[in-house]
Structure 1
Amino acid sequence: MTLTTGPIGGSAAWIGADMTTRSDWMVALTPAELAEIDDAIAAHRRAGRAMGEITPETFRLPTLAGRLSKVLDDLLEGRGFVLMRGFDLAQRSVEDAAIAYLGIGSHLGGFRSQNARGHLLGHVKDLGLDIQNPKVRYYQTNKELEFHTDSCDVVGLLCLRAAKAGGGSRIVSSVTLHDRMLAETPELWRALFNPMPTDRRGEVPPGMLPWFDIPVFNWHAGKLSTIYSGQYIRSAQMNYPEARRLSATEHAALDRLDALAAELSLEMDFRPGDMQFIHNHQILHSRTDFEDWPEPERRRHLLRLWLSPRTGRDLPPVYAQRYGDITPGNRGGIVVQDTELRFTLEPT
């Protein structure tokens, strides 16, 4: 275990209240770039390609590709998030929207499986499922999500339809959280470098335990990488008596991290067509609870991507418990014994 020796700072250490006065994290797609996207969708359809065949080479974006390269640099080396706006859904089918989203995503990284069923195109939608079921994920409900990270390098969301009320996206810099805890509560800061059992929620790779042990804060190769799901750390304490018991200091550290995340976060409302991308290793994300429309065809629906860029940072070996292979461009995602990789246009 290696601890940081002081505050990290830099462009990745931002505060939500300050970001509300800035607009550099918003990317407005131009008419020329939108025309390129439409041309690429048409070329994909003419070629009769499957969604799994979408790559930067097959989904050509002559000028937008350069802008997406800058977006990727901002994600991996800068503030860690971006919101792309201006993609009009009114004249596009869900399938065309998905093709465009996958095409844009392919310029940022390779697609990774988001659940045990191998979904490479995820659906964030209230399916009316019982959250008490250990195999049900919170994104399949309308409940508030606590701040957490996902099991990949970059997380993307495309808003197809917004909720009637609520459902705001909240993000926070884990670098800022680290620096604030180091300054204010060093004992609690130190506890977050301890490996903590985290529940896999039934998605267990062959030969693995139903939980994995990993620190929240990981200092490696000169960078802080954060992996966190407080809900699943706490559920591992309830569900697996053989998992290591957390100390009172470690519980207090999790509570303080959650409180600071809420205090320092940035909230943004999604409009249909908005695409949000975040760097999972330096951003925690959450969502407010929401009230949905009564009509099924109007209900909140987001498409999700998990991406692995070839230029991703080095990760510490302990991440292999969750990521499997930790080679940049080929890591992250959830794969169990019977996982079959697939793209689907319907949430299941």
Structure 2
Amino acid sequence: MSRQEDGNSQPPRNYPTHIDGPTKWSGQDSNEDFVVNLNNSGVTEAEKGLELFHEHELDGDEITPRCFPLPTLRNKLEECALEVHRGRGLCVIRGLKPEKYSIEDNIVLFLGISSYIGDKRGIQNSKGDVLSHVTESKSWTVPKEKRHGIHTNYSLPFHTDMGCEILSIQVRDRANEGGCTCVASIAAIYNDLVQTKPWVLHALAKHDWPIQAFRKETPFVLCPLIEYHAGNLCVSMDPARIGPHPSYRNDSTPDLTPEQREALIVLQETARKHQIRLATEPGDLLFINNLALLHGREAYLDSDTSSRHLVRLWLRNTQLGWAIPPSMNMPWDAAFGERASKVIDRYYPIMPMPNYIECKYSSGTAAFVADDNFDEWTSSVSRGEGDDGGPQLEENA
């Protein structure tokens, strides 16, 4: 469909003709100035924060800048938070060596450092898990087609973790081959499409995309995939969460229109055109503005001795965070808002589940918060709690 055929030669109403600012970068002219390298003194300071955590016998939810002091690193981390929200939307902290620490200590370092980037942690399922493991365990026997996309070695299309504000990732190990994380700026994509295919922007901005809602009473909601709100162009989309879900019987969710399907294809093509391929290293901490950048993954192969393994955390910075468009509030509410507040307990699984339980309801590329009726985990995995019932770092969740 051309702009002549569609009749839309301008951006959608109330959208800018061009987006300026640091978020409009393209991989075609980018470099790695988003990487912050920790020197020896910075690593030592983080390790002192780790010692303090153990001295006070704290739980996962109690890890804050106050109890994980980083007096020298603080300024550098606050600059990273500004870069995520007011700059390019991406920051990588490099310098930690995961082989130096226990599995639990690696998680504590991740939580401690990330508490300076975002002060609020979102839940990633209705059980209250704050951490997810993006990996494919060699011990799992459930067929790949019955797992979430993050638990396979397949490539993943460009998407966002719908509901998340800051996508935070700890690289625990790399694949033997492939598995590169790619990111692309929605601002660069937008500026490109304004000039080439503005009809795609009109399609993406319409409030008629059926988004799976994981609620028995409301299987879907109609939302836009992009919205210009409070001076920011926001994106919230996962191709696997749009339209009817094949596992949900009697689904009233409408099919995508031919225009919507074509718009998604063009969006993926344009994202690849402007992408950055992140050359990550074990120990890297990635912080991505999930409202400003799309991310995807290349397919990968593990070896007998290594497995690609990322630990995922969803963050919000209550001071710097972007205003959430009302049209995109539904998934955000499940991770950070009123629905999230109804989940009393919080859990911090430090390892993937030892035995993968087949998903009752696969919830998209990124695996999302679901109501109990559509929960992505049907496992009654033991969740160890302390004597006070507080949030714990768990060995096998």
| Shorter-chain TM-score above 0.5 | yes
Deviations 1:166-207 (A, max 9, x none): 11010000111111112111112111001211235xxx35x7
For residues 338 and 184 of structure 2, the distance between their equivalents in structure 1, rounded to whole angstroms, comes to 22
Stretches of structure 1 lacking an aligned partner (at least 5 in a row):
none
For residues 28 and 69 of structure 1, the distance between their equivalents in structure 2, rounded to whole angstroms, comes to 14
For residues 312 and 247 of structure 2, the distance between their equivalents in structure 1, rounded to whole angstroms, comes to 30
Counterparts of residues 1-348 of structure 1 (less than 5 Å): 3-19=14-30, 22-109=31-118, 110-127=120-137, 128=140, 129-133=142-146, 136-150=147-161, 151-195=163-207, 196-200=209-213, 204=214, 209-236=218-245, 242-295=252-305, 298-311=306-319, 312-324=321-333, 331=336, 335=340, 340-348=345-353
Contact 1:113 1:333 in 2 (8 A): no
3-state SS of 1:132 partner:
helix
Q: Structure 1 pair 102/17, CA: closer, same or farther in 2 (3 Å)?
A: same
For residues 206 and 222 of structure 2, the distance between their equivalents in structure 1, rounded to whole angstroms, comes to 9
For residues 332 and 181 of structure 1, the distance between their equivalents in structure 2, rounded to whole angstroms, comes to 33
TM-align CA RMSD: 2.3
Structure 1 stretch 53-62 or stretch 331-340: which is displaced more? 331-340
Give identity over the alignment, percent: 26
How far residue 208 of structure 1 moved from its aligned partner, in angstroms, is: 5.3
Deviations 1:263-311 (A, max 9, x none): 211112321111111000000001111101224xx32211111001112
Contact 1:114 1:333 in 2 (8 A): no
Q: Structure 1 pair 26/235, CA: closer, same or farther in 2 (3 Å)?
A: farther
Query: Segments of 4+ in structure 1 off by > 3 A?
Result: 127-133, 234-241, 332-340
Contact 1:2 1:218 in 2 (8 A): no
Contact 2:205 2:225 in 1 (8 A): yes
Q: Structure 1 pair 238/251, CA: closer, same or farther in 2 (3 Å)?
A: farther
How far residue 231 of structure 1 moved from its aligned partner, in angstroms, is: 2.3
Contact 1:28 1:86 in 2 (8 A): yes
Deviations 1:187-237 (A, max 9, x none): 12111001211235xxx35x7523332211111112111001112215549
How far residue 92 of structure 1 moved from its aligned partner, in angstroms, is: 1.0
Larger radius of gyration: 2
Structure 1 stretch 250-259 or stretch 338-347: which is displaced more? 338-347
For residues 124 and 309 of structure 1, the distance between their equivalents in structure 2, rounded to whole angstroms, comes to 23
**Structure 1 counterpart of 2:102, which letter?**
S
- Normalised TM-score (structure 1): 0.89
3-state SS of 1:294 partner:
coil
For residues 189 and 160 of structure 1, the distance between their equivalents in structure 2, rounded to whole angstroms, comes to 37
3-state SS of 1:143 partner:
coil
- Normalised TM-score (structure 2): 0.79
Q: Structure 1 pair 229/294, CA: closer, same or farther in 2 (3 Å)?
A: same
Stretches of structure 2 lacking an aligned partner (at least 5 in a row):
1-11, 354-397
Contact 2:123 2:336 in 1 (8 A): no
For residues 208 and 187 of structure 1, the distance between their equivalents in structure 2, rounded to whole angstroms, comes to 34
Count matched residues: 334
Q: Structure 1 pair 13/264, CA: closer, same or farther in 2 (3 Å)?
A: same
Q: Structure 1 pair 280/2, CA: closer, same or farther in 2 (3 Å)?
A: farther
